[in-house]
Amino acid sequence: MPSPKQPAVPRVDVERHHRALLAAAADELSRNPDSSMADVAQAANLTRATLYRHFSNRQTLLKAIQAEALARASETLIACRLDEGSALEVLARVIDSLSRHGMRFRIILLRAPDQNARFLAQRDEVLAPLVEVIRRGQREGDIHADLSPEWIVTAMASLLISAVRAAPKTKHSDADVSNLIFRTLVGGIAACATTGGPKN
């Protein structure tokens, strides 16, 4: 006599498990980049079987975290009110928010393939709205007009990635990190000696 089929898992539960696994994986791997799939499942309070139903291996999981990180970064930029205040005030908010965001998804920045054209293109697409912020700052006289806006955004992204990667060694708080990034970037791009820290 055939055994009865296992009831299908409701879609809402599948989606909830997926979100829980991604969140747990990002948190667990940011603390310990060498955590195993079993560690991730335990952190999510789910079984390894459930984890493997969603992500067949570690590489698949990391790709999903990368996609999630890019999506959250895009939402973070929107929340930074890019049209409100001077360009330097906007950059301060963006750096503060993205540095905190980067710490949560630190595993992606640690493992980020710096020569991966697709990853870099996706990152540039997320940060593209900042190019117009820089142009506005140049028109208003707050940012050197002879610097390429695209280059300034790339420099900011590089500083953010380097700071997140080095965080355990520097032992700075999130606020200290964002302030250091802002001061380093603005020290090179501001048309005048503006050194104030982030304003939320």
Q: How is the chain split into domains, by residue range? A: 7-56, 64-189
From first to last of its 200 residues, what are the pLDDT tens digits of the chain?
A: 454 544 445 566 778 878 888 888 888 888 888 899 999 989 888 889 988 999 999 889 988 988 888 998 999 999 999 999 999 999 999 999 998 888 788 787 776 656 677 888 888 999 999 999 999 999 999 999 999 999 999 999 988 888 887 766 656 566 677 888 888 888 877 776 554 455 55
* Domain at 64-189: CATH architecture: Orthogonal Bundle (1.10)
The gap from C-alpha 130 to its chain's centroid, in whole angstroms, comes to 15
Q: Do domains 7-56 and 64-189 have the same CATH topology?
A: no
Q: How many helices (H) and strands (E) does the chain have?
A: 10, 0
* Domain at 7-56: CATH architecture: Orthogonal Bundle (1.10)
Collapse the DSSP code of 143 into the 3-class scheme (helix H, G, I; strand E, B; otherwise coil) and give the result: strand
Q: Which DSSP symbol is given to 5? A: P
